[in-house]
Amino acid sequence: MHMLNDSRLGLRLFVSYTLLTVFVLILGWVGLVGVKEEGEQLDSLFHISLPSQSLLLEADRDLHQLVVAERSLIFADPAAPVYQELIKEYDTNLQQANTRWEKYKALVDTDDERRLFGDYETRRAEWMAVSRRVVDGIQANTPEGRQQAMALVLGESRSAFNHMRDVIDKLTEMNEESAAKKNDLADATFAAITTRIQGLTGGGVLLAILLTVLVTRSIVRPLGRCLAFSKAVTEGRLDSTLDVRQRDEVGRLAEGLRHMVGTLKQELENATASQAQAAREAERARLAVAEADQARTQADQARRQGMLEAASRLQSVVTVVSGASDELAGRIEEATQGAQRQAARVGETATAMEEMNATVLEVARSASQAAQTAAQARTKAETGAGVVRKVVDSIDRVGNQARAVKEDMARLGEKAESIGRILDVISDIADQTNLLALNAAIEAARAGDAGRGFAVVADEVRKLAEKTMQATKEVGQAIGGIQQGARTSAAGVDNAADAIGDVTTLAAQSGEALREIVSLVELASDQVSSIATASEEQSATSEEINRSLDDIHGISAQTTDSMGRSAQAVSELLSQAQALGEVIADMQRGG
């Protein structure tokens, strides 16, 4: 505390505002770094993990639709338009699946997923070779070709397709685990950012309050004591004490006030003593004049009673008057010298008051510089508040991206639901096909040997319908997985959006704390302005004391002039006494 009181006002305010500015910059930097980390993690989640998962699910859907088209070709007439539509659907789904796979490969950022690329592409090539054999057998449009295609669909093609889908399932699981890890990392980063911002915000507010209290107390209290002391001196209470001992501008002001009052008290005491001595000497001169008048009266009486007796008595009176006049002249000389010394001391006091007035003006200039420093600190604090507003805007943009991803996931869920409805229709068709195949088998059995070949075909159709129902069930399960993944991703996006909302709230709180710091800086600036005003008032008080000293100096000059005139009068009295002595001597010689 002593070190704080002994430092200059400008240095105190500069250090305080610099510390607050550094705290604001640190808070803004921590917020920006945290938002950048959170943005990178969310960017990886939104632009890599979730799109990768969506591409895998869409590619899986395309492959299932390709299988449906492939199996539907078995029952289609190559000459019918629906056959060409199924061929087109087959090629379109194959192209879409390949395109989405290539996009997925470009997004993958983990080595575990990359290691499965070769396995998937090998199994896909094996399945595509079998699938092409199925299509070729169907396009041959012969009973043998269709039977071969049917056998491949129910056997080798199905096995190859399932092996390929196993790899897709593994990739989907890896992608979901990666997304979950990124989500957990984003949550941990958000918690760390929250803790750091809360700690720094609380510390900054406490530091601002502490610095404001310390600096204000170190300036306002001693300055208030100085003002009270100067007011007491102005009211004439010169015995008042000023207990301010510090080495800053206020301390120098207090030291100047104490020195001024001490000098003023000493000079007033000297002036009072000189005036009392002058009064005593004037009284003695008045008595001497009265004695001279009495002697003159006695001389007149002596002239009537007898010149010799009167002359003798007047001689003694003249002797007494001459001695008294000599002594009175000496005392008047001493009083004159005292009045001159008093005038000199009053001049020294006036010089000291001018020096103190210069010190007060220096304090006022320092206070003005401190006010400018406070204005600069307020500007920097407002700049820090602008940085925090930019952080809030960045967080809002990240939140908008999160909401856009959430909408995409919702649309993906809707697509999955529409596929589920299509699969329900396919399942119903397969069920009806199974019933028709059973009816056909019954009718073929009734036809005997003529319907045996048709019975074989009906049995194959029934088996194909059962396989179609089984495949439809598997596709339904896959679609259910897609929907579950979409819901999980949507929940993750909701959590990320909530986290972004919390970060936005914290950033807003940081902005509010900065605004409070700006208010504290403005309060300190107002107090510094009050100090400058008080210093100007102190300067006015010093000028008033200077005018009082000028009056005292004038009184001392008048006293010196009066003492001079008194000395002149005593000198004339001494001359008259000497002349009277000569007259008496002549009278004695004549008598």
pLDDT value for 438: 58
| Cα–Cα dist 562/556, whole Å | 10
What is the tens place of the pLDDT at every residue in 381-438?
Answer: 577 667 557 755 765 675 676 566 567 666 666 765 666 666 565 666 666 666 565 5
Instruction: Determine the Cα–Cα distance for residues 426 and 193; give it in Å rounded to an integer.
Output: 52
3-class secondary structure for 301-358?
HHHHHCHHHHHHHHHHHHHHHHHHHHHHHHHHHHHHHHHHHHHHHHHHHHHHHHHHHH
The tens-digit pLDDT sequence of the chain (591 residues) is 566 666 676 777 788 778 888 878 998 888 888 888 878 878 788 888 889 889 999 999 999 999 999 888 888 888 888 889 999 999 999 999 999 999 999 988 888 888 999 999 999 999 999 999 988 888 888 888 888 888 898 899 899 999 999 999 999 998 888 888 888 888 888 888 889 888 988 888 898 888 888 777 777 778 788 888 888 888 888 788 887 787 777 777 778 878 887 887 787 788 788 777 767 876 876 786 677 577 567 656 655 665 556 556 656 655 765 665 566 566 657 656 765 676 566 566 556 556 656 665 665 576 566 567 656 656 765 776 675 577 557 656 756 765 665 676 666 667 656 666 665 656 666 666 665 655 666 666 566 666 656 566 666 676 776 767 776 677 667 666 666 666 666 666 576 567 666 656 766 666 676 677 567 656 656 765 665 575 566 666 667 756 765 775 676 677 567 667 766 765 776 677 677 667 667 766 765
Please tell me the distance from the alpha carbon of residue 36 to that of residue 75, in angstroms, as a whole number.
Answer: 58
Cα 118 from Cα 8, distance rounded (Å): 75
Give 423's contacts (C-beta < 8 A, 6+ positions apart): 472, 475, 476, 479
- Look at residue 331 in the predicted model and tell me its pLDDT: 61
- CA distance linking residue 150 with residue 457, whole number of Å: 10
Q: Residue 289: enclosing H or E segment and its boundaries?
A: helix 249-305
The whole-angstrom separation of Cα 414 and Cα 399 is 23
Q: Kindly state the tokens that stand for 171.
A: 């990739």
Would the CA dihedral through 191, 193, 199, 201 be positive or negative? negative
CB 152 within 8 A of CB 130: yes
Instruction: Specify the pTM.
Output: 0.44
Q: What is the pLDDT of residue 88?
A: 92
Using alpha carbons only, give the angle 372, 377, 383 rounded to the nearest 5 degrees: 130
Tell me the Ramachandran region of residue 236: left when phi exceeds 0, alpha when psi lies from -120 to 50, beta otherwise.
left
Q: How far apart are CA 425 and CA 418, in angstroms?
A: 11
- What are the angstrom distances between the C-alpha of 84 and each of 70, 73, 87, 107, 139? 12, 9, 5, 35, 11
Cα–Cα dist 488/334, whole Å: 111
Question: For residue 162, what pLDDT is reported?
Answer: 93
Q: How do residues 114-145 score in pLDDT, each as one tens digit?
A: 899 999 999 999 999 999 998 888 888 888 88
Q: Which long-range contacts (CB under 8 A, 24 or more apart) does 149-156 make?
A: 149/73, 149/74, 150/74, 150/460, 150/463, 150/464, 153/70, 153/71, 153/74, 153/464, 153/467, 154/463, 154/464, 154/467, 156/130
Residue 364's pLDDT is 57
> What are the tens digits of pLDDT across the range 495-539?
656 766 665 676 666 667 667 756 765 665 676 566 557 556 666
